[in-house]
Every structure is written in structure tokens, then in C-alpha cells.
Amino acid sequence: MFVALLLLWSLLFLLYVFFTTIRKYQTKLPKPPLSSTYGPPSYPIIGCFISFCKNQHNLLDWYTSLLSASPSQTIVVHRIGARRIVVTANPSNVEHILKTNFTNFPKGKPLTEFLGDLLGCGIFNVDGDLWSTQRKLASHEFSTKSLREFVVKTLEEEVEGRLIPLLEEVAESQRVLDMQEILKMFAFDTVCKVSLGTDPFCLDLSRPVPPLVKAFDCAAEISARRATAPLYLMWKMKRALSIGSEKKLREAVNLVHGSVHEIIQNKRKILERDEGERIESHDILSRLLLAGHGEEVVRDMVISFILAGRDTTSAAMTWLFWLLSKHPDITHKIVNEVENVVVQNNGTEKLGFDDLQKMRFLRASLCETMRLYPPVPWDSKHAEVDTVLPDGTWVGKGDRVTYFPYGMGRMKELWGKDRFEFNPDRWFDIEPGCDGDNKVLKFVSPYKFPVFQAGPRVCLGKEMAFIQMKYVMASVLRRFEIRPVCGEDRPVFVPLLTAHMAGGLKVLVRKRS
């Protein structure tokens, strides 16, 4: 009885402190100029809490409908205990945020806190000199021909040695397979080989799922939910008390950091042992260690690379497989394009970098998939100063500013009346959709299609991501038919750090005749 009363009084005290802090916080906020701003209904103290709770299960489409109703494709969202959020689907605003006024829109401490426990001081979660130093380092490594060749070689080993045999076995047994889970396992194997030089054997289904994989999933999901929690301060209170989801997050992060630390120690011993033998090390971890960088910096960088490289490509491919099941004509065009490339290569099954570059219609199909289902549906920055966006929206110092690729892909002003249709031909300038070699991919502004970010923070691994996705899609589609068993309903798009398909993509696999 005493314990229950103590807990009750503790809860009441915390609520008192919580709402007192909110009142003091809101009275100190700068007042925006009087101008018409669009957004969900907002009330004193609670902001748009009521609307937010009603639409939390459908947040992306709710934001999209609000943005579509706004003349400038920008809305302002007020939340309990947090600064205003300015959400935009306006390319002029996106360019202003990501390029023109880049220094005024860093990640900022309020945003880096969400991922700080997992990513530490990794390149995706820092600003200023620390970001600049890591960016230069990563840019050099990602631009080397040797790393590109290592990526293609790794893809060949993983696709031909594991993925294709697995799909052949599934086709023979006629059992249902979760394609999303298989692609995630494939991507984790590949990114660990490239980033760490180690093989977790995720795609070997005879082995249990490695604890590192489960820990990554748990840490990424809980970190993402911090950013969308209706009560902004609640996760901080749970972290301070080490309870609930925050306790699980701490345990998962400890496992991730501990596992990567062990890999780094083993790699360092191997490099020291092989010193002087001129054994070339291709993986990113070896390159960073040989360059003399400290362990914590290296750890945070490779964790960032793994997180980015694993989920983004697998998410895009999962949605493309589902879309192709609804558009057999587009599947036919992709298969024909791949076969033509193989014929031009004298029938050699092995796909090289130059072969992949010729697959323009496949690239257009991937771009169209990511327009509709971007792996990262939104990204946010932190306003360093009071400013005004190009569309006239006032932004106060400390506000969160979010650009919204998911909503941008559904704006009539950007993509026309057929914006909800899957149409890879929209990415071509000349003779769209033909099966010859005269297809020309049009230039699309990265501020209209910011799925790989844009400006100084544009994704360094963009072309490597396309290499991986094209290699997998080409290899699978020319050999197999992938038939979803989920029925006619559109799967649910779930936004976390990277989006995924709720319930996975259950499929039957058939050898292509």
C-alpha cells in the first residue's frame, strides 16, 4: 500500500513539474509575425495534441493532406513541450534549408538527441567541424575505384552464393517467403562485409538470427519513436528512470556498441599481424583504422554506415517487388533490358559495374518506387536563427524544420495529375519506355526528389545504393517471378528511421520460364 501511494505521489509530482515546465517554456517562445499559416488545429498549452493522437496511426498521409491544402505546401505544427515544427513539401524551401542557408539549419542538439545513444558522434548525427572532418574522410573513401570494385565483388558473392540458391530452394519447395526480411538479411550481410569486413551470415537461414541484428532493429525502432511521441518529454523521463522502452534501448545500444567494439579490436589485431605484408584491405573499417583514426570515431562512423546501408536499399527493393506484381508490363520491360545487357556482354551471367550502368529503365523504376515510398520519408533540421523561408513562412530560432519526401512525391504541383500512379516513364526525356538504347534519363532536381538528401549533406553512398539495388533486382527478376500473397490491398507503409512494409512482403517464388 505504501509503495503504491509513493508511486502515485511521484507520478503527480512529475506531472506537475511537466506542465509547469511547459507553461514557462511556452511563455518564453518568440511570437511569430501575424501571417496566415496552415496546419492542424492548435490550442493553448496542448497545441495540436488532440489531432496528433487521432492521426498518429496515419501520420504520413495526414501530413500530406495538410500540405496539399496549403497554398505554399508548408504547414506549422505545435506540440506539447516542444518547439514548433515547420513541415514543407516546397522544393524552394528544401533548397533553402539544405543548400542556400545550409549553415543556419544544422541537425541541432534537440534532433541529435533522438539518435545520440545509438549513433553517438557518427557522421549522420553531428554538425560543424566534427561533421566536416568525417565528411571529407568518408568522401575520399567512397570515391575510390577499389571500394566500388569491392562492392560489386561482394554483391556477386552474396547474390550468386546465397540469395539465388535460397530462392531456388524456396521455388522448389513452394513455400511462402517474407521477401522484406530476406532483403534485410541480404543487405545486412552485404553492408557488414563492406563496412566491417566481417560476415554475419544472416542469409544462412539454418543459423539463428545474430543478436547484433535484433539489437540494431530494436535500437533503431525505439530511437525513431522518440521523434514522433505525442508527449515530447516523456521519453526523456523514461530514460532518466531507465524504464520501459528506454531500458530496452539502452540494452540494445550496449549490445551494438559492444559487438562493433569487439570487431574493431579483432580487425586491429589482424592489421597489426599483417603489417608489412602489403595485404590490401578493402573494407571501410580497415581503411579507417589504417588511416590512424580513433576507435570511438571509427565505431560511430561504421555504425552510421551500417544503419544507412541496411534498411534503405532493402526497403526500396521490397516496395518495387510489390509494385511490379501490380504492373507486369513494367516487369517485362525490366527483364528485357537486363537480357539485352547480358546479350551485349556475350551472354556472360556476371554483371559488372558498366553493365549495371546500362540498366536505365531499372534505375527509373527504382526512382519511381522511392518517389512513392521513400526509405526515409522525412528528415529534420534545427533553425539556428530567426529566418523566413522562400514561400514566406516565418521560422523562429530553435524551431524544427522538416522536409517531407513522402508528401513531396504526392504533390500534384510537382508530379502532375497521375502523381499516385507508378510510372517509370516519367523519368525519361526522350522516347520514354522504349526497349532500345536511346532512353535518356532526365535531370530531376534533388530538391524536388530529396530521397538522398541534397546540398552539402547529399548521401555519399547514393551510387553504391543504386549499384546494389540494380544488381539484386536484375539478378532476381531475370530468373524468378515474385508473386505476393497479401491480396489486393495496399500494404501499410510504416515510417521509422527508415520505412518498412507492415507485416513484411509474403511471396511465392516461381522460376521464370
Number of Cβ within 10 Å of residue 434's Cβ equals 13
The runs of H, that is alpha helices, within 29-75 are 49-55, 59-69
pLDDT surpasses 50 at 34? no
Number of Cβ within 10 Å of residue 251's Cβ equals 14
Amino acid 45 reads I
pLDDT surpasses 60 at 25? no
Q: What does the mean pLDDT of the chain come to?
A: 86
Instruction: Check whether 459 is labelled as a binding-site residue.
Output: yes
Give 8's pLDDT tier (boundaries 50, 70, 90).
very low
398-447 per-position pLDDT tens digit: 999 999 999 999 999 999 999 999 999 999 986 545 555 567 899 999 99
- Using an 8 Å Cβ cutoff, are 511 and 480 in contact? yes
139-152 per-position pLDDT tens digit: 887 878 888 888 99
Q: How far apart are CA 221 and CA 351, in angstroms?
A: 35
Q: How far apart are CA 294 and CA 308, in angstroms?
A: 21
141-181 per-position pLDDT tens digit: 787 888 888 899 999 999 999 999 999 999 999 999 999 99
Q: Which three cell numbers stand for residue 437?
A: 538504347
3 state DSSP class of 448 = coil
Can you identify the CATH homologous superfamily of domain 31-511?
Cytochrome P450 (1.10.630.10)
Residues in the chain: 513
Average pLDDT over residues 248-256: 94
Nearest CA to 411 out of 440, 383, 447 is that of: 447
pTM of the full predicted structure? 0.87
Pick the more confident residue, 319 or 236: 319
Q: How far apart are CA 87 and CA 24, in angstroms?
A: 25
With a pLDDT cut of 90, the percent of the chain lying above it is 53
